[in-house]
Structure formats: C-alpha cells, structure tokens
Structure 1
C-alpha cells in the first residue's frame, strides 16, 4: 500500500539541520517520518515497496517560483544564443541554422546578451538582411524585453517607417529616423503577431520537452506564465496542452499557472477561480508587467540611468491603468503577480497594493524587485506581497549593471539578505529561459553572489546561507501560493514530493554547489526521473 524511503540523509527543512532517517508515504502523501526501525515496525503490514537511497541527500521537492515552461521548451528547440560572446558569433550561428530551414521558414533565436560580448552592441536589421532576405528572422534578448528583427519579419508584421511607439514600448530608430530592427518591451508585440501561430500539439510538445528537462534537474514543480502568447484561443489551447502533457500518470509535475491580464476575460468566461485545476496543474495570480528590464534600460527608475542621464525607463501602464488592473483582479478575488524591477516601479506597485488590499488571505507577489531603496523597503512591509526573486540575475548582471545604475545604487540592489532580515517573505526562481533553470546554480548564486562574467563577488553582505537559499526553493515557493501547510517541508501530511541529490549542499564548498546533480525526482510518491550512471 505504501513506500518506505530510507538509506539517505533527509533534511526536513522545518528548521536548520533538522534531519531524519526515513519517510513512509502512501497515495502521494507523507504518512510518517522518523527513524528507520520505528517506521519499519509501525508500518510493516502496509509497506509494499522499500527504496534504498544509497547515501544520497533528500530535500522537500524543489520548486521554481518563476519561469516560463513553454518558453523553456522553446529555448531547447530554438537557436540558443545565450552563450555567444560576440555579434559575429551570433551572425555565424544564424547562417548555419538557416541552412537547415525550409524556404521562407522563420528563424527564431533566444537569449542574446550584448553585455557579455567582447564588443557590446546591438545588431542592426541590415546585418540580418545581408544573411537572408528570404527568411524572417527574430532574435529575442536574454531579458525577453527586447528583440531584433530583420526587414522580412518587419514587413510581414506590416510595420511602417512612421509607425508610432506603443504605450510601454519603443521602436528604435537611427539619427535619420530609420528603424534599426530593435524593438523594446510592448513594441515587440508588433513583430510577434506575424509569427506563425503554434497549435495545441506544438505547445504540448514544448511542454513535454520542458518538463522532462526540469524533472531531471530536480524540480518537482514551477510557477509559470504562458497562457497569453500563442495566438487566437491561446488561453484554452495552452491550458489544454498542459493537461495533455502533465497527465498525472506518465508525467507528474506541479505547474502553477499565472494568468496574464490580457486573457483574464477568457479565465472569467470559463468561470474559473484561483486554484482551479487538479493536483498537478492549477491557476494562480493575475500577471501584470509594470516596467521593463535593466539590460535594455526600460526598467522604471526613480533617478535616471547612470549611462543614459535622460532616460528613467518605461512604465508599461499609467498608474491609473495599473490600479484598474489590480481592481479587476480584486473583483475576481485574485491576487496579482506584478513584474517590477526599477525602484520607481516597485514603489508604485507597493503603494497600489496597500491601497487595494486582498481580503481573502491569498498573497500578491512582486516579481524581481531588483533596484531598491529604503522607501521601497518601508512600502513593501505595508503589503501582503511576497517577493519572487531570481538569484542568478546577480551572476549574469554584474559588472555591467554598474554602468546602468552606478555603484551607489548597485550597493542597494538585489538585496536578498536585507529582504529576509526585514521579514519580507521571498520565493526563488530562475526566470528561465532568461536564465539557466538549474536550481543548484540559483542556490550557488544566493550563497556566493559571484559574477559569471568576471568571477568577482558583488555586495558580499547580501550573501545568503545555504539553508536560507534552499528554503526559498522549498518553503518560499510553497508560501507564495498559500500551500505552506502541505508543501515545502518533509513532515507527516505533506505531499510526497522529493528532490534527491548526489551530494549534500550543506557539506560542500560553495564553489562546488553547481557540480551537484539530481539523481532522483519524486512527485506524488512516484519516481519521475532517475539518473542512470
């Protein structure tokens, strides 16, 4: 009837260093924990399987609190530009990929980041035109707040030379007023409407690839926002594709889906509510973007950019419209999940949340919360919001972010330790495919704050302990969705979701955390991934 798990070190995460010898589970739930001898005796008539974990280390299942599951699948199948170190390398990769495409097929590249190139610059559309005028080409920046498109793609999208900038976006132009092919924030959508629409079968395949990859990295679940981006009937077909992929038999994974405000009418029309779905797929908060990103200088700042003194970034909505969206969510008894990176954006969001409190015990979330000052901290403490933070942004943003916001503001940025010291609740994610999804890389980034670009440690006082870091992937990810009483800790009554590692993160040097591998991922008491030597 049930399974006895033993032979490893189980960290319950109830408190630091709390360990047990064994766990007994039935029907996807933890029935009891404790020493092996006692559990064997107590449940001897009910144990149908005993699994020896051979000295491995076991935690409550790791959950990524912020990623894009379909987008991660797209990164797997699209041209990956995230490791490229020059514009020339990007262009050469495009040439090679074009040779594999059929005539007129779109080429989509993911993850270019000029800040890690030997000579930082933005590729011009004419450089893409020289490679191919027969294929539409679209290259998404690592932050997903900017794209580069060639002339073919721009023409297919019917964008004219005099097309105006949309609210919350910018069409980059050169000194003569000619489009460069660089589209920022909401202006990206002007091009993306021309991309052939993905079918439900396409989406199911991308979710399959993505979830299988997440499982082998030790993730039992993720909070994702995918429902609004795939053409007509995007909400329904994406929701259906999730259910086809994560069927609860062949594939088990806990997918908590945020609902973008642009498809909230679809959500309401189907009479859905927060938490509706099943044990593996359910609805979460209403997603809103309030600003852009630091890389493209579109995050909304209180003071101008250090390297662009006339630029304060871009608010995606007016304050009036942003409050109207929050009120729309409240009318459906929904929390909101608001992307806010710049200090002005975070402060605006915090004040609006305090003015429009949620009264049903559910929790809002502010996603990223990267540029912070004391006014922001004070305002956050007056809300119910949980901060949805991404540790590897420190690894990939420094040192170039010093150019964007200057050293003084950078000292107060990405202040993970301060948030915890101020008792502001947090959860941890990757923002994949923008960053690498491996949770061990995130834990290492929390603990070290070491740049992958120059190898230096930045703002050492904000480093977290290994226990704090892992807590944000376990207890934090459960708390942000109100499931702290059933997930995030190994204790009786909780879900039988476990992440099994080949080494103990508490007993390796921080430099070695990224070398730890998941050897088994258990969801609902079933092994969904097992590493073969």
Structure 2
C-alpha cells in the first residue's frame, strides 16, 4: 500500500457526484479527504495554487465515483466459496455430486469438504442431495454442502456422526438434511474442523475480492450460528491488511456484555427472526404455495424484539434482525413500536437500528421503519436471481412474489436503503446489484439509477454511522473508485440530469475497476506488488 499524498488531484475524467448542472471532471484531495470537485478550469486552479504541488493523476476519461459499501457480507464463508467448492449455478443433482467427487479427490487432506451454493429449484430431480449420495461421491469424507440461502444444508454420515444428539434435534431428517437447531449444531462442530489459519486465508481472499470490485468498506454479519467469536478478529485483520474498513455486527439476542467485549457496532445482522424463501423457512402469514402444510419458521416474538431493541438502545448499540417473511416482519414492526413506547422515538432514531433483507414488509411495517428511521439493508440480487413470474420466489409464493423486495416503496416512505450482497449467498458485484435494483422484476419497484447507486455507497456508510464515507461532498473521506466504462454512459433525463452514470441496460458491459483509494491511499491494485502494479 502506498502512502497517501497530502495533496492529490484527479483530472480529465468524469466525476459521478458533482452538481448535475456543472459536469465535473476533476476532484481534489488533501490529507485523505475531498476538498473540492469541479471542471478542468477548477483543476488548473488547484494545480497552480500556492499550497504545494499536488500529485496529479490524469484519468484519461475514466469515471470517478465514491467507492462502494457492501452492507452484508460473510467474509470467511465468502473466501471459502471463492477458493473451495462453489456449487452456484449447477444445473442438476448429478452435476453437484460429480463436482463433489472431483473436489474431494483433489483435496485429500481437508478435514472437512465444504461446498456452498446449491439450488434445487430448477433441477430435473427437483430435490437436494442426500447424505448417502454424498457418501457415495466422497466415501468416508466429512462433507457439508449448504444451500444457496445458507438456511439448510446436507451432510454426510461421517460428519453427522460427530454431532452429539443430532437425531433428536429439531431440523434433522434421516436423509442428511439439516436446518434450524440441527443446522446450528453442525456448524458448531465445523468450528473445530476449520482452523484459524484456514479462516484467515479465506478472509484475505474475500477482502482482496471486495477491493477488486471497488468495495472500500463492508459490514460483517457475524453470529454464533455462523462462526466462532475469534473469527471476528480474523476478519478485522484481513480487512486492515487490505485497506478496507470493516464494521462488525454480532447476531445474538440481548448479549450486550458480549457486544462490548467483542467491540462490535451492534447486536444485529444475522440475528435471525426467520429463515429464507428457498428453504421454505421464511416465516409467512399464509402457507407456501408449493407446500401448503408449512408457514416457515419464526424465531423471535414481538416481546423479544422489544426487549432487544430497548437493551441495545440504552447500551448505545445498533439493534437489528434478519427478517424476510411477512410474519417475521410483522413481529419486528410490533416489537419496534413497543420499544418506542419505552425509550421514545428520538432515541430509536439516533441509534440507526437496522434490518437485513426486509423482503415482505407490509405497508404498516414500512411506516414504522420510516417513522423510527430504521435502516433497511437489502440485497437487489435476490430479486435479480429469484424474482419475476418464472423465478424461485414465484414457485414458493405464487403471485406474492410481487410483494418481495419493495425497494421503491421503502425509498418513498422514506426508509434509508443500504445495499449489500449477502456474499456468498450472491456474488460480490455492486454494479450488478445497482443494475438489478434499476431493473427490478416488478416495474413498480424499480429505483432510479442515482438512488440505487446512493444506496450502495452513502446508504451503507450511513448504516454504519460513518458520515464521512460514501459520498464526494467537501470534507468526505477520499474513498474513491476509478472505472473504465466499456458500456458507455446513460442518457441524461429530467428525472436524472447527469452525464456520468454508466449505462446499466441488461446485457451492457459493467464498469471495470482501474484504481481504488481508501482515505486517499491506493489499495487496489496493490502497488507494493510490482507485477500487479504493472
């Protein structure tokens, strides 16, 4: 990593974030903060000012934006997915088992074979693998294959044998499928099978991948059912080495003392109020269309939400929950309203409490979130991958898919939006997420491009109480991304009068990162590596 120049001038490009009436081509940085944005005449004045010659970067027409913030990441699991067995996009059960067999044969020393990302929705077999099938593909191996939504998995007999009392736990089935309590117990066993060195290597891989996507800050959604407490320091170390800013949340109910000991921003993130649509574990008020006997699973009551929000507010922590189905969100909304009666609306607003996913909120819940200024940390690629009349959400929910991910309703309420990937559930890729929000499958929920971009930059910074990040205003921290724009730029419209927004039409090539700065320091490419810098 290079030392930040005290004065830096980027010029001869396009700047997304200046005044639309005066197209900006340059941005000046001093002591790691933005001091001004302007045109080339402004750049001449900065270059000729008497405060010492700045380092000048000729952008050669490239685009400069505020760097992205990913509001929902699982860093170690992302790294394991990037370096391990990635089952995303496999088109059949047979493909998954073949991939497992090949991976296991080339990783003979691994204490556990971990695969992530299978989705049986469109497979010809219409079912997940079984534990016995994992055994046949990788004989004798401890194998753990988790579904794309991470709320259910399949394990091999060798791994199942290591989990005490597994057959008596809620969520275990004899075919090797685990969810709920059984899934948590399996993850506890995995803690001892994946060592700290392997976790650190995975976190480093994930952080480098985030930097390569123009992500300068991320929110780690840690929780007891996802990984051990010591993983938090692993993530912080990897982020610091890469130059990224990590905000960590711990998903445990009422654990104020634990939050203080761990130094986390809040008891939020993956504190689960329910599951996910794909696994039919998101809590609904009416049954799933493709399995009428189930409504999903709710894990917290309105009273528990109330008590948690009050405890966090009084402790100066952010509270939050993973909440997807309408029944879960109804309980969340009622709990926040009851907390308001105890601590008052203003105390809740100051706290910037947050919710993850927020996929099926009612109008009444949206009103509560807007009134109490609760941030909605949402994932546009959920709709991008699974929305629409022919998608997985329609298979699970029928016409109720139209009620999912109501980005425009939330924005107009107004509820502050923060975009994230939930990586490795969906891939890191903020421009793809912005495009998915702009081209939502439900036309009535599509966001203007400028608002979608803001949600993935300033929205994420706001959610982490970082008022210096995510924008290019005077005094902002110089977290900047420089992009090649092979697809060209979107046409300016009266609704969005800017000539610096990339063309986000589906199929158009997305911007490619050229350079990433954090507080004025170049962190990608890493210029300490001569080959990468060249």
| TM-score bracket, shorter-length normalisation | 0.7 to 0.9
State the secondary structure of the residue aligned to 2:35: strand
Once the two structures are TM-superposed, the CA of residue 378 in structure 1 deviates from its matched residue by 3.3
Once the two structures are TM-superposed, the CA of residue 337 in structure 1 deviates from its matched residue by 2.1
State the secondary structure of the residue aligned to 1:24: strand
Once the two structures are TM-superposed, the CA of residue 340 in structure 1 deviates from its matched residue by 0.5
Partner of 1:483: 466
Pairing of 1:115-514 with structure 2 (within 5 A): 115-161=121-167, 163-165=168-170, 170-172=171-173, 179-195=174-190, 196-226=192-222, 228=224, 234-235=228-229, 237-247=230-240, 251-261=242-252, 264-269=256-261, 272=263, 283-287=265-269, 288-357=271-340, 359=347, 361-398=350-387, 399-407=391-399, 409-449=400-440, 458-484=441-467, 486-503=468-485, 504=489, 506-508=501-503, 510-514=505-509
Once the two structures are TM-superposed, the CA of residue 49 in structure 1 deviates from its matched residue by 1.0
State the secondary structure of the residue aligned to 2:316: coil
Mapped contact 1:299–1:341 kept (Cα < 8 A): yes
State the secondary structure of the residue aligned to 1:144: coil
**TM-aligned CA distance change 1:29 to 1:53, over 3 Å:** same
State the secondary structure of the residue aligned to 1:4: strand
Greater Cα shift, 466-475 or 261-270: 261-270
Once the two structures are TM-superposed, the CA of residue 155 in structure 1 deviates from its matched residue by 0.5
Say whether 1:58 aligns with 2:81: no
Pairing of 1:509-528 with structure 2 (within 5 A): 510-528=505-523
Mapped contact 2:184–2:225 kept (Cα < 8 A): no
Say whether 1:75 aligns with 2:81: yes
Partner of 2:14: 9
- Work out the CA distance in 1 between the residues paired with 2:104 and 2:401: 41
State the secondary structure of the residue aligned to 2:64: strand
Once the two structures are TM-superposed, the CA of residue 316 in structure 1 deviates from its matched residue by 1.7
RMSD between superposed Cα atoms in Å: 2.4
Can you give the 5+ residue segments of structure 2 that lack an aligned partner in the other structure?
1-5, 491-500, 526-531
Instruction: Give the TM-score of the pair, scaled to structure 1.
Output: 0.87
Say whether 1:529 aligns with 2:524: yes
- Work out the CA distance in 1 between the residues paired with 2:358 and 2:80: 26
Once the two structures are TM-superposed, the CA of residue 114 in structure 1 deviates from its matched residue by 0.8
Once the two structures are TM-superposed, the CA of residue 39 in structure 1 deviates from its matched residue by 4.1
Partner of 1:280: none
Once the two structures are TM-superposed, the CA of residue 464 in structure 1 deviates from its matched residue by 1.7
Mapped contact 1:72–1:432 kept (Cα < 8 A): yes
**TM-aligned CA distance change 1:339 to 1:243, over 3 Å:** closer
State the secondary structure of the residue aligned to 1:180: coil
For these two proteins, the number of residue pairs brought into alignment is 496
Instruction: Give the TM-score of the pair, scaled to structure 2.
Output: 0.87
Mapped contact 1:133–1:151 kept (Cα < 8 A): no
- Work out the CA distance in 2 between the residues paired with 1:128 and 1:525: 49
- Work out the CA distance in 2 between the residues paired with 1:346 and 1:71: 26
Mapped contact 2:251–2:272 kept (Cα < 8 A): no
Once the two structures are TM-superposed, the CA of residue 284 in structure 1 deviates from its matched residue by 4.3
Mapped contact 1:286–1:329 kept (Cα < 8 A): no
Once the two structures are TM-superposed, the CA of residue 427 in structure 1 deviates from its matched residue by 1.1
Once the two structures are TM-superposed, the CA of residue 317 in structure 1 deviates from its matched residue by 2.7
- Work out the CA distance in 2 between the residues paired with 1:104 and 1:502: 40
State the secondary structure of the residue aligned to 1:99: helix
- Work out the CA distance in 2 between the residues paired with 1:480 and 1:230: 22
Mapped contact 1:12–1:18 kept (Cα < 8 A): no
Greater Cα shift, 436-445 or 112-121: 112-121
